[in-house]
Amino acid sequence: MAKKNNDFFVEKKPWSVVKDELLGCYFMPYVSKILHTYKPLVYVDCFAGKGKFDDGKPGSPLIALDVIDKCKESTRMESTQIEATFIDLYYADDLRNNLKNYPWVKIVSGKYEDNLANILQGKEHSNVFLYIDPYGIKALKCSVFDKLSKKNFNSIELLINMNSFGFIREACHVLGTSFNDREIFDDLVEFEPTKMDRTSESIEELNAIAGGDYWQEIINQYKNGIIDGYEAEARFSEQYCKRLGESYKYVLNMPLRIKKGQRPKYRLVHATNHPDGCLLMVDNICNRWEALQEIQSSGQLSFFEENYDNQIIDDTEIANKVIVHFSQYKVNTSLHESLAEFFVEYGPICSTGTVKKILKSLEASGQICITRNPCITKYGKAATYMSEDKNQKVYVRWIK
Ligand SMILES: C[S@@+](CC[C@H](N)C(=O)[O-])C[C@H]1O[C@@H](n2cnc3c(N)ncnc32)[C@H](O)[C@@H]1O
Domain boundaries, the chain: 14-297, 315-398
Q: Does the pLDDT at position 11 exceed 70?
A: yes
Reported confidence tier of residue 187, pLDDT bands at 50, 70, 90: low
Q: Does the pLDDT at position 325 exceed 60?
A: yes
pLDDT of residue 196: 78
Nearest atom within ligand 1 for CA of residue 49: 27
The DSSP output letter for 177 is -
Reported confidence tier of residue 49, pLDDT bands at 50, 70, 90: very high
Q: Does the pLDDT at position 177 exceed 60?
A: yes
The tens digit of pLDDT for each residue in 125-149 reads: 999 999 999 978 888 999 999 999 9
Q: Does the pLDDT at position 272 exceed 70?
A: yes
Q: Does the pLDDT at position 2 exceed 60?
A: no
- Ligand 1 centroid, distance to 284 Cα (angstroms): 25
Range 140-167 average pLDDT: 94
Distance CA(314)–CA(292), nearest Å, equals 20
Instruction: Report yes or no on whether pTM surpasses 0.85.
Output: yes
Cβ of 89 less than 6 Å from ligand 1? yes
Nearest atom within ligand 1 for CA of residue 46: 21
Mutation test of ligand 1: which of 17, 89, 140 has the most ligand atoms closer than 8 Å to its C-beta? Answer: 89
Q: Does the pLDDT at position 283 exceed 70?
A: yes
Average pLDDT score, the chain: 88
Distance CA(207)–CA(216), nearest Å, equals 9
Query: How far from each other are the two terminal CA atoms of the chain, in whole angstroms?
Result: 60
Cβ-contact 158, 270 below 8 angstroms: yes
Reported confidence tier of residue 299, pLDDT bands at 50, 70, 90: very low
Residues in the chain: 400
CATH second-level architecture of 14-297?
3-Layer(aba) Sandwich (3.40)
pLDDT of residue 12: 79
Within 8 A by CB and 6+ apart from 313, the residues are 304, 305, 306, 307, 349, 350
155 forms bridges with which residues in the sheet? 127
CATH class of the domain comprising 315-398: mainly alpha
Of 304 and 53, the structure prediction assigns the larger pLDDT to 53
Reported confidence tier of residue 304, pLDDT bands at 50, 70, 90: very low
